[in-house]
Amino acid sequence: MDVVINVLIVVLAVAFLWSRFAPTKGVNQITTAQLGEMMKTKKTGVQYVDVRTPGEYKGNHIKGFKNIPLQQLANRTGELSQDKDVVVICQSGMRSSQASKLLKKAGFKNVTNVKGGMSAW
């Protein structure tokens, strides 16, 4: 009986971790190198969003990125157009992944997460 309970706990833990860290369906994933190429081409119709705190953003950010902290994003989606592509970055890629999920649930169609975030930039 103890073995069954232990296996169940492990399965539940793995399922929880998978749901938290697995890429969201419909969210594109790019590297910082791909982001650099995208920004060089100055593609129009792209909204760049940095979801780090204002202090992190002030310390170092990429020109052209708008700072909307993750904690405020749900209340500030109206500042973004659902018809345009959205590229999201944070420090490591974790918060931007959460932000990407939030934006997809809010109806944004073309959402891209920058893997590795500013740490990889």
* Burial readout 47-56 (b: 16 or more C-beta within 10 A, e: otherwise): bbbbbbbeeb
Reading the block at residue 82, the tokens are: 């659902």
**Cα–Cα distances in Å, from 53 out to 10, 49, 58, 70?**
34, 12, 9, 8
End-to-end Cα, the chain, rounded Å: 50
Q: Which of 90, 102, 103, 114 is catalytic?
A: 90
Please give the radius of gyration of the chain, using alpha carbons only, rounded to the nearest integer: 17
Q: Is 90 among the residues known to form the active site?
A: yes
- Could you give the residue numbers annotated as active site? 90
